[in-house]
Copies of this chain bind each other. A is one copy, B any other.
């Protein structure tokens, strides 16, 4: 439970370094991340290295009782390298080169660039291998940012062919598994496969899905190369990578296999603008606690261990459409929220607003003139809060105790391959994998229940409830696993667009949900996407609710299957929409539509009740309760103060039962003993 900061000594005159680092220590910071864009300063000319400035920074950081996190500088190769090897640049699907001038200007499949990256990583690793103040490393920076995960260059073409050869063995297998008889797409050799370049008509879904897999795999391989170099130099270092919010092109589970823990870069007022169609004024000021929470829970779950927020928004930022000022205290609110969800370190981006380059409109803890900005005050307070919390729960362990991950009764199944396949064939402009996932995430979180966001192939036996939104690609193995989970007493909820395809993105030859039909006791007669102007509703538990985007006409096939929800009005009037089937010790619910928030709340509420999971009443919007390691956070992302009703014996460690707007409180009472009202 620590606070850190991202620091760019190369942006400032050398003489300021000492004062800056001194002040960081005073602020209460524990970690300082550096170097992720410094290649041109570390190797100003080919083979000429200048590590002195970075060594000095690390050394000063150590002197002041802090630790350094170093980064491989590979996200931005210098111009001399690009000019020497222009082939490392990526290409768009239409053949346009992605030129030098921004960042991430390299292809993961360039052998040349892998060599260059290995070389600089080795040099750095070697140089710092004995430096005690270096705690660990971040590889590169935000793989895939700016749409760079997928490239369409000749290196990718060659690598894709190899990838396919390895996966399919012979081209006839590929033809069969992709389904290349369609539109005369049979291939005679792997050499005939190209990246999915610009075409007049759309691409084959199997080819696209494999290209997406291949592209993610290429980044995973590239990352693994760096990890191996770093580990070889010093086995005590941790290695992590800073992922992005709800980013789809890279499979974080795969990358995480090579990491000690995951980290991610959290910009609540930015992401809420770019990931949502409409934003409330509160969200513009602090973001949405469920949007942030979903990322926290995902990046914690990928290694099933505490994670870091490697970059935490420090104030107003430059890249979203609008750059409002965060609410007073927002930067502390976010730090607490991160820690409550399982973060070990919250590292603000960045120490000081930069006077040059592409991010001048991005604030720092200090303003460009070196004076403390709003984020500074919040960081100081957060650091101090964390000390209090640690003192309370682990007085014996000192400053940096290891902490448990948060409690989670529910597993929310999440899979990048499902996301990719549904991006390839959304079949309506309104479907969005992440938004659909969030509908269920929020319904769980508004009852203060902990969630792991896990891959469908995970061991689910520890969870009381499993929710599987749009489990699109399903094979028999997965179906069997889910059945075993339910048989043993699990409560499973499966939703629309599940069991549609095999792993090659081909329709099953049974009706949807394919291999899950027996388990859910139903099949889908028809599905339809519907525009917003067609009102769609259904009855569930005697009440009418709204549904939207995608309606499936469900037909029970199981002997014990109950229809528990039916569409009302218009074409599908009376048609089953939701069914429920007892299986062994547990039960399965199938929801053939995208529920509105009320319906999701009712469905999830009933599910949690059946599973005997302790909950709170449904919390107000923008208010959440999180439990970790014996502590309970009330995080208030709303503009109204709250009153928390807690048991008499509850202790308030930070704040108290009146939680101000955009404020937090921490108690030892468990969530289900609390209730929250507007103050």
A553 closest partner in B (C-beta): B325
CB contact under 8 A between A37 and B184, given known A103-B201, A526-B316, A529-B322: yes
* Given A95-B97, A97-B197, A509-B369, A203-B358 contact (CB < 8 Å): yes
Which of B76, B359, B530 is A322 in contact with, Cβ under 8 Å?
B530
Chain A interface mostly: loop
Cross-interface CB contact of A78 among B186, B359, B361, B509, cutoff 8 Å: B186
Measured CB to CB, the nearest residue on chain B to A177 is B356
Q: How far is the CB of A152 from chain B (nearest CB, A)?
A: 10
Is A571 close to B, CB under 8 A? yes
Question: Is A200 touching B104 in the complex (CB atoms < 8 A)?
Answer: yes
A96-B95, A281-B533, A284-B534 known; A10+B188 contact, CB < 8 A: no
Q: Give min CB distance, A222 to chain B, whole Å.
A: 16
* CB-based nearest B residue for A82: B192
**Complex-state Cα separation, A207 to B316, whole angstroms:** 24
Q: Are A360 and B325 in contact (CB under 8 A)?
A: no
With A98-B200, A199-B101, A202-B358 known to touch, is A188 a contact of B322 (CB < 8 Å)?
A: no
Q: A374–B39 contact, CB under 8 A?
A: no
Indicate with 1 or 0, residue by residue over A436-471, a CB within 8 angstroms of chain B CB atoms: 000000000000000000000000000000000000
Task: Name the contact of A148 in the complex, choosing from B37, B197, B200 (C-beta under 8 A).
Answer: B200
| Shortest distance from the beta carbon of A638 to any chain B beta carbon, whole Å | 14
- A residues 197-211 touching B (CB-CB < 8 Å): 197-207
- The answer to whether A231 has its CB under 8 Å from any CB of chain B is no
**A188-B44, A198-B99 known; A205-B358 Cβ under 8 A:** yes
Which residues from B are CB-within-8-Å of A76? 183-185
A341 at interface, CB cutoff 8 A: no
Interchain CA distance A95-B358 in the complex, whole Å: 23
Which residues of B are found within 8 Å of A83, using beta-carbon distances? 192
Asked if B526 and A325 make an inter-chain contact with CB atoms under 8 angstroms apart, the answer reads: yes
Chain B residues within 8 Å of A316, by CB: 526-528
User: Given A200-B90, A368-B507, A508-B368: A194 and B99 within 8 A (CB)?
Assistant: yes
Contact assessment for B369 and A98 in the assembled complex, using a CB-CB cutoff below 8 Å: no
Residues of A near any B CB (own CB < 8 A): 8, 10-11, 37-41, 44-45, 73, 76-80, 83, 90, 92, 94-105, 145-148, 178-188, 192, 194, 196-207, 281, 284-285, 315-316, 318, 321-325, 327-328, 353-361, 367-371, 374, 425, 427-429, 506-511, 526-531, 533-534, 553, 570-572
Seed contacts A37-B183, A323-B427; 13 additional CB < 8 Å A-B pairs: A38-B184, A41-B181, A80-B192, A90-B200, A101-B207, A102-B202, A182-B359, A201-B358, A205-B358, A315-B526, A324-B571, A354-B507, A355-B506
